[in-house]
Structures are given as C-alpha cells and as structure tokens.
Amino acid sequence: MKRILIVGDIHANYPALKAIQSHVQAYRFDRIINTGDTIVYNTFPNETIQWFRKRKKSVSISGNTDRRILKILKGKKLKKPGKEEKRVMYFWTIENLLPENVNYLQLLPRQADLTIDNVRIGVFHGTLDDKNETLFPDSPENRFRKLAERSPYQIQIMGHSHTPYCKTTNGVCFINPGSAGRMFDGDPRASFAILKISLGKINVEHFRIPYPVEEVIKGLKKNHLPGIYKEMFRTGKKLN
C-alpha cells in the first residue's frame, strides 16, 4: 500500500504545518503533495518553504499567491489583490523572503503529473483547465463531469478553494485537502488529507487538527501586520 500526505493553501502558516507533522509522525509516506499557495498571509514563509525543501519525497506546485510574489519580484505591478491589508502581506513577504527560497519558488511547476502504484495523478492549484478555477464540493456536477471526460488522470488533486472534499465522477477521484493554514469555514483547525492506494483501490481520509494559533498571532503582532488577520486565524473565517 502507498500512503500520500496531501496538504495545500498553507499560506506560510508554519505552526499549522508543524502540527500536521506531529499528528502524522507515526506514518511513513511515499509522497507528500502540496497543492500550492505555500506562502503569503503569515509570517513564516522561509520556515514553510524550507520544510518542503528538506523532504525529497515532496511534490509541490505553485499557487496564485506564490506566482504573484514572483511577478512583483520581476518588477510587475500588483493589480490584485486591491485591498491594502492584503497588499501589505505580499510586500512584507517579499522583504523577508530569503534568496534561496525565492529560487525554490521560481522552479515550482504550475501542475504536476505523477504515477503511484500504477495510478496516474494530476496535481493542480485550480483545475486541469484553469490554474485559478475554484471548485467546491457543491459546484455543478456537470463541471466535474467535463473535467473527468477529458482527464488522463484517475485522481485529480486540487487546492485554491480552502474546502476539503473527495468525490468521484465518471471514474475520476477529485480530492481537495482543504487549507492547512487558513480555513474559511468557521473552524480554524488545520485541514489535510491522507491518500492510500493499494492494488488500484483508492482511499481518502480528511483530517482537522488544532494548532497553536497564538504563535501566528504573535508573529503578526511582532511585525505590525494588519489586525484583521489575527481575527481571521482565530475564527477560521474569511473577513476580507
């Protein structure tokens, strides 16, 4: 049996990532898959990136926040997000990101294609069709059907919506691990998933675990970042 840890939308929340590591430390994973948005909106971008850099079995792709950081570093104007408290978080990240971690971001692909135990898996931040598409478990079934019809993959792993789910449509298993570092559903606990593959059979289990939110709050206060983020991390709600 192959066991894969799936995380995504960490948003530089290293305390949450450490809590996940502690929770699953008894397991051996054949792969760790990260669906992107590794940084921005928290004060631990370097620690978060370095966690993945140290793990040779990890497969990471870029998310929209990661790509925006690279655009700013290239001298391009930041068109989105428009709200000042969001823009502050991007520029703080750029000012504090180590050069070697910028290099890591530059090398991340927009999607990944891997085969585990003869099961082909596609990894996307948005979807197979659109890197910024947001899918929820209650999105129109026809949308999942269309993605399945043209899919070369038996499993499609996605992020971006910060919403955990697993559903099978036309023989394709769609998995979203939820957000490891910034949930929006009113439950601030970290979200992740474990995928098990054995003889072509697929099993997915989702988890929600607590993490030391006050470490996040301390980092935000120390760096004089917008107070609205303290409330968002404490409540697990999207307030902007």
The model's pLDDT over 52-96, given as tens digits with 9 standing for 90+, comes to: 999 989 999 999 999 999 999 998 887 778 788 899 999 999 999
| CA 46, 4, 144, 184 torsion-angle sign | negative
**Which is higher by pLDDT, 98 or 81?**
98
Q: Output the CA torsion 182→183→189→195 (10° steps).
A: -100
Select from 33, 41, 159, 43 the least CA-distant residue to 96: 43
Task: Decide: pTM greater than 0.85.
Answer: yes
Residue 114's DSSP bridge partners are 121
Residue 194 lies in a domain: yes
In the chain, how many domains are there? 1
Residue 146 lies in a domain: yes
For residue 136, the model assigns a pLDDT of 96
Q: Is residue 10 part of a domain?
A: yes
| Count of beta carbons in the 10 Å neighbourhood of residue 27 | 9
State the amino acid at position 81 in one-letter form: P
Asked if residues 144 and 164 have their Cβ atoms less than 8 Å apart, the reply is: no
Q: Which domain holds residue 175?
A: 2-235
Indicate whether 133 pLDDT > 80. Answer: yes
Residue 83 in any domain: the answer is yes
> Considering the domain boundaries, does residue 240 fall inside one?
no
- CATH number of the domain encompassing residue 156: 3.60.21.10
Cα 220 to chain centroid distance, Å, stands at 20
Whether 166 is covered by a domain: the verdict is yes
